[in-house]
Amino acid sequence: MRLVGLLFICLVSVGCQPPIETSEPAQAAPADNNLVTADAGDVDPNSMQAIQDAVRAREALPGKQHFEQACATCHMGAVQKAPHKDMIGLMTAEAILTTLTEGVMQQEASMLSDEQKVEVSEYLAGTPIGVEVTDIPTCGPDIGFDALTPPLGGNWGLQPDNQRTITAATAGLTGSDFAGLQPRWAVRFPGANRARSQPAIAGGLMFVGSHNGRVYALDENTGCQVWSYQAAGEVRTGIVVSPWSGDDTSTSLYFGDVLGNVYGLDARTGSQLWRIRADDHPNATITGTPSLQGDKLYIPVSALEVSLAIDPNYACCTFRGSVLAVDAASGEQQWKTYTIEEEPLVQKQTSAGTDVIGPSGAVVWNSPSIDAKRRQLYFGTGENMSSPATLTSDALFAIDIDTGEVKWVFQATPNDAWNVACDTDTPQNCPEEDGPDFDFGGATILVDGSQVGELLVAGQKSGWVHALNPDTGEVVWQTQVGRGGIQGGIHFGMAAHGDRLFVPISDMADGRTYDHPDRPGMHAIDINTGKILWSTIHEDRCEGRAFCHPGISQVPTVIGNVVVGGAMDGFARAYDVDNGEIVWELDTTHAFETILGETTRGGSFGGAAGPIAWNGKLALSSGYGIYNHMPGNLLLVLEKK
């Protein structure tokens, strides 16, 4: 079987992920996992033995019995709106315990003793409670929201078109300044082994989500906590900030969590304005950051049902992706557009006698780009999770921003139906198409070439970049930049500035064989022609560290005359936009002192939490302890000296 497939299952469905906190370097982290057998330090953490040991150790925990007695009836699929056990396992043990003792499951968990609640939480999360107990320290009463400081961008893409460009004037940085950057402050999040929520800067504060489910308002100068809000699950999305002007300084924050909830908060106080569930499916999740335009919030909806297909008795699959528009003030739904029009139905049975349900999938992982002139939203979709394959998987959509009506669809890779069963020894649920799993994981970008005019560009996990006419969806040019693969190719997105498109390539090994060579690193494309202008291929500097890779998964940001990106080897780098020369790099896996005087480390850069710069400062989110990457727990702000 393909090792990457089992690692995906282990990390997502079974919960045997690297430890939450460690004082050792990030590469040593997997050996410290309390769920691995005592001699695991002598075992390759990528090996089958280590994985099987971790699975067996978790299933032997006392919380399993309590879960089966008190929780399994609802959370193993019988109750449609109840998150599946494997979805809950993406939360930290502390966040699960809070849900049982103070949150929405308090009444249902009343039959459990305090000790049993702890044991259930540790069983579901696969990690112990109490590994990290310190929170980010609270600010003094004189620090709070400053209405004279407007938002930096507001949306995840910094501009409505998702170009992800910060001018040198706004950043207070040019390429020559990077060599002199020094740490201003650093924090580590309680109970976390990854940092994948892109910070938002507004009102003198930094708003950021966390693995532990808390959203924090931090003082941008010191990192202390002004307020925090506890969401139901991990907050992977960025934080969207509504603009304000004049005497009306009320402003709101918007984000989603791993359990499919979307929130509106008061930015000054952190108080909840509204909360909705974006989809009733028990495996719905929000990974792409919602996009705000005027008084409407546009929410991309995805799901993690793809991993449940590993169980031959699971009837796969019933989720279909969507984008919905809600009133930003109330959360009231205005319209919802599914990426697959047909509702899923039983198609046939597997060799195990389980129903095959479809069509399914075509989820939306990315933040929609906004075309105000054409009144259109653009986004990309993922693969189908079961047969039959549809014409809308691995596709780019243009939909009417006011009604949700589909204007056009461009499918980049037809007949792509895949789920995790395809890479295991229990392949009964694998669709007959068997992949290749070439999602559009990153966001679409609307650009304006000096010679060709406006184009919609998008990068795919296949390693291809597609440029389309935004009026018709017709192809203008296509360029293969990387080899591609299950984790990219182009994974979480690109950035653009002027006539240049900046394309990060992961090309992480995934057990498959490809014709195209690996090209991990940063690349630049001419927007007018699709020609590759330069390529900076990364050397492998992992030196044998577990879960380390040279490619770039995380989305980059153009800052002045450099493009900044974090790689899976833990290095943040700045590349000259003209020639790709690396003008600065920082190894975030080294120890950094937090504002509490403790030490913390970063790990792989992953997800859609790209670099952010403002007023001579640079914020980096480092650590990605999931999907076979280096864990870490570092939010670092550097400053020009």
Closest CA to 435 of 473, 496, 382, 480: 382
Burial bucket for residue 250 (CB in 10 Å: 0-12, 13-18, 19+)? exposed
Query: Mean pLDDT over residues 326-339, rounded?
Result: 98
Q: Are 321 and 362 in contact (CB under 8 A)?
A: yes
73 in helix, strand or coil?
helix
Q: Who wins on pLDDT, 425 or 376?
A: 376
pLDDT surpassing 60 at residue 449 = yes
Residue 86 has a pLDDT of: 67
Q: Are 137 and 596 in contact (CB under 8 A)?
A: yes
Which alpha helices (DSSP H) does 45-108 contain, by range?
48-59, 63-70, 72-75, 85-88, 93-101
Q: What is the pLDDT of residues 270-281, one digit of tens each?
A: 999 999 999 999
Residue 96 has a pLDDT of: 83
Domain ranges of the chain: 3-125, 165-209+225-431+438-640
Burial bucket for residue 95 (CB in 10 Å: 0-12, 13-18, 19+)? buried
Distance, in Å, from the CA atom of 377 to the CA atom of 401, rounded to the nearest integer, reads: 6
**Two structure tokens written together for 310:** 């590993």
**Two structure tokens written together for 51:** 């994985």
Strand locations in 220-371 (E)? 225-230, 240-241, 252-256, 261-266, 272-277, 284-285, 291-293, 296-303, 322-327, 333-338, 345-349, 355-358, 369-371
Residue whose pair of structure tokens reads 């498109």 in the numeric block: 501
Query: Mean pLDDT over residues 253-268, rounded?
Result: 96
Query: Which residues, including other chains, have CB under 8 Å from residue 247's CB and lie 6 or more apart?
Result: none
Alpha carbon dihedral 105, 110, 116, 121, in 10-degree steps, equals 0
pLDDT surpassing 80 at residue 247 = no
Distance, in Å, from the CA atom of 307 to the CA atom of 552, rounded to the nearest integer, reads: 24
- Which range has the worst mean pLDDT, 175-184, 422-431, 451-460, 522-531? 422-431
Distance, in Å, from the CA atom of 206 to the CA atom of 220, rounded to the nearest integer, reads: 5
pLDDT surpassing 80 at residue 185 = yes
In the beta sheet, which residues pair with residue 471?
none
Strand locations in 61-213 (E)? 165-166, 181-187, 200-202, 205-209
Q: What is the pLDDT of residues 41-52, one digit of tens each?
A: 333 444 445 556
**What's at 26, amino acid-wise?**
A
Percent of the chain scoring above 70 in pLDDT: 87
591 in helix, strand or coil?
coil
Percent of the chain scoring above 90 in pLDDT: 69
Q: What is the pLDDT of residues 32-88, one digit of tens each?
A: 322 222 233 333 444 445 556 766 777 788 888 888 777 776 676 554 556 667 667
Q: Could you give the count of Cα atoms lying within 13 Å of 453 in the half-sphere of its Cβ?
A: 5
pLDDT surpassing 60 at residue 29 = no
388: Cα separation from own chain's centroid = 27
Q: Who wins on pLDDT, 297 or 546?
A: 297
Residue 30 has a pLDDT of: 31
Q: Are 212 and 228 in contact (CB under 8 A)?
A: no
Q: Are 566 and 557 in contact (CB under 8 A)?
A: no
Query: Which residues, including other chains, have CB under 8 Å from residue 29's CB and lie 6 or more apart?
Result: 18, 19, 22, 193, 546, 603, 625, 630, 631
Query: Which residues, including other chains, have CB under 8 Å from residue 286's CB and lie 6 or more apart?
Result: 236, 237, 255, 256, 257, 258, 260, 261, 262, 278, 299, 300, 301, 302
Distance, in Å, from the CA atom of 366 to the CA atom of 276, rounded to the nearest integer, reads: 19
Q: Who wins on pLDDT, 175 or 131?
A: 175
Radius of gyration of the chain (CA): 23
Distance, in Å, from the CA atom of 58 to the CA atom of 321, rounded to the nearest integer, reads: 32
Looking at domain 3-125, which CATH architecture does it have?
Orthogonal Bundle (1.10)
Helices (H) and strands (E) counted in the chain, each on its own, are 8, 38
Query: Mean pLDDT over residues 618-641, rounded?
Result: 93
Distance, in Å, from the CA atom of 205 to the CA atom of 207, rounded to the nearest integer, reads: 6
Closest CA to 360 of 387, 337, 380, 378: 387
DSSP single-letter state for residue 80: T
Give the fold, CATH level 3, of 165-209+225-431+438-640: Methanol Dehydrogenase; Chain A (2.140.10)
